[in-house]
């Protein structure tokens, strides 16, 4: 079931709520594929891309840790 807590990214949540689940996911996928294509064409520096992705992974790990803590402590 879809709820406000289903998407932690506020921009993605706004997009999914405004456009609907299917159209919002299609737009997000299109944006991601365009970003990957741009990185490939311009040979975007790998270290910078890895650093940005590392921040995304860190954010996800912190979110999961906070969620697990709230789940355990009630």
pLDDT at 65: 93
Say how far apart CA 62 and CA 64 lie, in whole Å.
5
What's the N-to-C CA distance of the chain in angstroms?
Answer: 22
pLDDT at 27: 94
Sort 19 into a burial class: Cβ within 10 Å, 0-12 / 13-18 / 19+. middle
Task: Please give the chain's pLDDT, 74 residues, in tens.
Answer: 455 567 778 888 888 889 988 999 999 999 999 988 888 888 878 788 889 999 999 999 999 999 999 999 97
What's the token pair of residue 42? Answer: 């311009």
Contacts of 19 (CB under 8 A, 6+ apart): 27
């Amino acid at each position: 079931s879809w709820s406000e807590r289903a998407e932690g990214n506020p921009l993605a949540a706004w997009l999914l709520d405004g456009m609907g689940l299917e159209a919002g996911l299609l737009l997000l996928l299109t944006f991601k594929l365009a970003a990957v294509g741009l990185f490939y064409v311009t040979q975007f520096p790998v270290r910078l891309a890895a650093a940005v992705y590392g921040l995304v992974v860190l954010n996800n790990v912190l979110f999961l840790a906070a969620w697990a803590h709230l789940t355990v402590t009630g």
